[in-house]
Amino acid sequence: MAALRRADPALEEAARALGRTPAQAFRAITLPLLRPAVSAGALLAALYTLSDFGVVSLMRFDALTRAVFLQYRGAFDREPAAVLGLVLVALTVLVLLAEQRARSREPVVPGASGRVAAPAPLGRWRAPALAYCATLSGLGGVLPIGVLLGWLVRRPPDLDGLGAAALNSLSVAVAAAVLATFAALPVALLATRYRVPWTRVLERAGYLANALPGIVIALALVFFAARHAPVVYGTLGLLVLAYLIRFFPQALAGVGAALARSDPRLEEASRGLGRGPARTLATVTAPLVAPGLLAGALLVLLSTLKELPATLLLRPIGFDTLATEVWTATSVARYSQAALPALALCIVATPAVWLLVVRGGRELDELGS
């Protein structure tokens, strides 16, 4: 979507004016413009699939994330879990290398002109197109919510502990979002305002955690805390640290995209009028990048709300979240009991999703790029 919004419609119009059909213009012009974005989207989908734990655990599918968790929980010797985690990291690195090699072969395309393409009438394809989009929307939203509501109607669940789990989910998610956003701000400032080799290396290093599955990060923190820092083992601080490491790249992307769009001459003018660096940051830079800060923080908050493997491995005793409530109920086939925390998770996440869609559209386009 972001690539289509940035594409210059004059290229397609020129192809049509030279006698190309719509299908030929799409193959020759539009598809090459979309290939880098399609490659990036496929990479995100592949990385998320490699790191996913909830779906494979519920489906009893022997993916590496589930094998790592079962090995960690079921064996006295936890070193095999670390070995499986390294295998998972190796697969992730292979996916990254393959995507980088494919992207290096992509052609260089011109940037956007800022003009929006005119809508094209679909004619007889209007009904199939609407049916296709409606089917995807139904499978992605209507069907899951309908099934959960059906379970609630068939067998009302027990409400005990739901409020505490929702409060726990929100508290750690807000803490992770705030910490990740503030931690990303100085890195983004260095990377965008001082473009030298070592700042570029620092920025790229900040994105490395985005390629690491959550269960690998949690397992590393478990081993480190158990052997070298037992005082923090099983504490809420260690759990929030795992969230910070796992979702720092999302906050960095939001802040970095906003800083890249802001004009540094405004900051220079503020400094020239006598304001110090701290005051300029608070009164000029922060308002300019506020939408990016919001988008990055909301992405971290949403990701933290549904993060499962890190929560299961690092949460303090008795600390339940909505995600762990769903996992606990479904692990023993109590689906009606899992319906209410699952719906509560959707309700809690709805305001953040609305803010991202309505208020953070530009920032999401930058993240997609």
| Region 113-131 average pLDDT | 82
Q: How confident is the model at residue 368 (pLDDT cuts 50, 70, 90)?
A: very low
What DSSP element (H or E) covers 32?
Answer: helix 31-51
| Six-digit token string for 338 | 């899992």
Is pLDDT above 80 for 106?
no
Furthest-apart CA atoms within the chain: distance in Å? 72
**How far is it, in rounded angstroms, from Cα 288 to Cα 207?**
23
- Residue that wins the pLDDT comparison between 250 and 286: 250
Q: Around Cβ 193, how many Cβ atoms within 10 Å?
A: 14
**How far is it, in rounded angstroms, from Cα 167 to Cα 172?**
9
**Residue 304: its pLDDT value, please?**
93
- Residue that wins the pLDDT comparison between 334 and 135: 135
Residue 281 identity (one-letter amino acid): L
- Residue that wins the pLDDT comparison between 233 and 356: 233
Q: CA of 13: how far to CAs of 4, 5, 36, 319, in Å?
A: 14, 15, 21, 58
- Residue that wins the pLDDT comparison between 140 and 245: 245
Q: How confident is the model at residue 135 (pLDDT cuts 50, 70, 90)?
A: very high
This prediction has a pTM of 0.79
**How far is it, in rounded angstroms, from Cα 132 to Cα 119?**
19
**Residue 295: its pLDDT value, please?**
84
Is pLDDT above 50 for 286?
yes
DSSP state of 194: S
Read off the pLDDT of residues 58-76 as tens digits, 9 standing for 90 and up.
888 888 888 888 888 776 5
Read off the pLDDT of residues 322-361 as tens digits, 9 standing for 90 and up.
999 998 888 888 888 888 899 999 888 888 888 877 655 5
Q: What is the mean pLDDT of the chain?
A: 82
Among 312, 353, 333, CA closest to 140? 353
**Residue 103: its pLDDT value, please?**
61
Read off the pLDDT of residues 192-220 as tens digits, 9 standing for 90 and up.
878 788 887 887 777 777 777 888 888 88
Domains of the chain: 1-110 (1.10.3720.10), 131-369 (1.10.3720.10)
Q: What percent of the chain has pLDDT over 70?
A: 91
**Residue 113: its pLDDT value, please?**
56
**Residue 94: its pLDDT value, please?**
83
Residue 62 identity (one-letter amino acid): D
